[in-house]
Structure 1
Amino acid sequence: MTEFIKHPSATGIIKLTGKIENYTVSRQRASFVFTESGQNKLGAVAIAASLAGMGGQAMPVASNATSTDEDADYVEFNLQGKSIKGWLWRSPFQDGDYVEVAAEWKKDHYEVFGVTRPIDKAISLYPHCSRSKNRHLKNSFKWWIISTITLQIIISLGLLAIGWDTFLEIWRYMLFEGAWWLPVGVSAAFAIAVASMANQWMPFVRVAEKVFVIFGLPEPSNIDLVKSSKKQRTAQDTPEFGSMYFRY
């Protein structure tokens, strides 16, 4: 049965340390992100990703546009007698690991937002938490530029396929006959779609940045775990490494 999870909000987050005891993890499905309006925005970004040649990224995005269900690990364990529960995108931890935990007290337990294992710098966070605000905005801007340029190239190639004279005539019309708003409008539409999705992810970005601060990571406002993990894969890492859990 699908559970809907509200956007994460960690106001009283603290750091706990110790060895994991009585660890259990189950892979479950829940809805972490999107309302109905969010799904519509996600569909627009799926189209943009596809046009930009981001096939691998576009497919799961398009799938999520019609389904809000996502897989994540629900973990429960004890740390120095404290009960800790919550969602991690993918947990590589096990009993006996010495870890640092970013968590917030919730009535009868601590709700986890991030776990790191200092010995190998492995880190797992609440789903969709992987970048600080600066990196998140830079990444969004990068894909807006790529998507816009790629679409303009595709349109130009399509016109060239019709014929060189037709290509020149259409561009002359856009530049000198007042139709310049066509390419500008396309760029603006992509900008609105990307900005909407960037804003949709901001609650996760804010939580990620709080976790980075709690763990004392250098330059917490300038962290991109996806990027920092690319060259740190080991033979023991599962396929989800670099996308659902990381190294800093």
Structure 2
Amino acid sequence: MLHSHYEIVEGVVDNLVVFDDDVNYLANADQHSRTAGIVSVLQAAVGAPGAVHSAQAASDSGDPVEAFTMDLGGQPIQGSFWKTTFKNGDHVKAIGSRVDGVFNAVAVTSPADRVIWMQPHCERGVIEQRKYLIRNSLIFVLVVFAGLAFLVKDKNIEFWFYLVSATSLSITILFFTVVLSWKDLMTFAHCMSRVGASLALESPDNINLVRSTRKMIKSGKPELPMGVYYY
């Protein structure tokens, strides 16, 4: 899939200011709250890291992030990540676009150690995001079936009634969560794919920062804060 590229600004970080903020990454706050809640449910279904944090974010006015402003190569840059841990003097690349003369970064990378700070919920490219949503939706359905099987112990209930009830409940929940929010969820994936394409990474749609980070940590790399990844 072809993706339009973001602009890249490269240089040494200067005049960095980091502050706590609540940010809605979708235009509509209600959409954001619903989508963030879905992400947390799907993460929790497979015990994914960050599920609790995402669930807390979904109940607030936005995601609780560390926003920042800085100068990079003499240009003003702003953005927000779960954790903003780069420092003045670091050589980085900021990936994003300009709005009203200010560069809005959706990602910042440290090429020397292949570390990337990524806008919340944008950990996977388009193909990986589809796989993630479909897989975790199936797991969620299995959890519903198992839960009903455990709770409903009345032997007088026919198997077909149990099957229809579990199926109907699963379809209803998934429709009002994943299906209605598919476009919103994929917006995050397209952002990740565009960042990957801008950095000329191989197969941007198949990027999975969670997986690549886990692999690098297993190989001996140090742990990273939430929202910071190896690529």
TM-score by length of 2: 0.81
RMSD between superposed Cα atoms in Å: 3.1
Distance 1:35 1:116, change over 3 A: same
Q: Measure, in 2, the Cα distance between the counterparts of 1:206 and 1:221.
A: 8
Q: Secondary structure at the match of 1:15?
A: strand
Residues 36 and 57, structure 2, Cα contact 8 Å, conserved in 1: yes
Residue identity matched to 1:150:
V
Contact 2:8 2:93 in 1 (8 A): yes
Question: Please, which runs of 5 or more residues in structure 2 have no aligned partner?
Answer: none
Q: 2:29 aligns with which of 23, 30, 35?
A: 35
Structure 1 counterpart SS, 2:121: coil
1:87-131 alpha-carbon deviations (Å, 9 max, x no partner) = 233222112222122122223321212111011111012222211
Q: Which has the larger radius of gyration?
A: 1
With over 3 angstroms needed to count, the CA separation of the structure-2 counterparts of 1:111 and 1:63, relative to structure 1, is closer
Q: Which residue of 2 aligns with 1:245?
A: 228
Give the 5 Å matches for 1:154-233. 154-160=147-153, 162=154, 165-166=155-156, 169-171=157-159, 173-174=160-161, 181-192=164-175, 193-233=177-217
Q: Which amino acid is the alignment partner of residue 121 of structure 2?
A: H
> What is the percent sequence identity of the aligned residues?
19
Give me the whole-angstrom Cα distance separating, in 2, the residues matched to 1:76 and 1:124.
14
Q: Which is worse superposed, 32-41 or 72-81? A: 32-41
Alpha-carbon distance in 1 for matches of 2:57, 2:75:
36
Change (3 A) 1:80 1:43: closer
User: Is 2:5–2:197's contact at 8 Å kept on the other side of the alignment?
Assistant: no
Given the alignment of the two structures, is residue 70 of structure 1 paired with residue 58 of structure 2, yes or no? Answer: no
The one-letter code sitting in structure 1 at the alignment partner of 2:170 is S
Amino acid in structure 2 at the alignment position of 1:223: I
- Inter-partner Cα distance in structure 1 for 2:58 and 2:43: 13
Partner secondary structure for residue 230 of structure 1 = helix
Aligned residue number for residue 80 of structure 2? 87
Q: Which residue of 2 aligns with 1:129?
A: 122
Deviations 1:15-50 (A, max 9, x none): 122222222222222333463365457667767777
Letter in 2 for 1:157: F
Task: Answer whether contact 2:46 2:136 (CA < 8 A) is retained.
Answer: no
The residue number in structure 2 matching 1:18 is: 11
Q: CA deviation at 1:236?
A: 5.4
What secondary structure does 1:144 align onto? helix
How far 1:134 sits from its partner (Å)?
A: 0.9
Q: Is the 8 A contact 1:48 1:190 kept in 2?
A: no
Contact 2:94 2:109 in 1 (8 A): yes
Kept in 1: contact 2:25–2:32 (CA 8 A): no
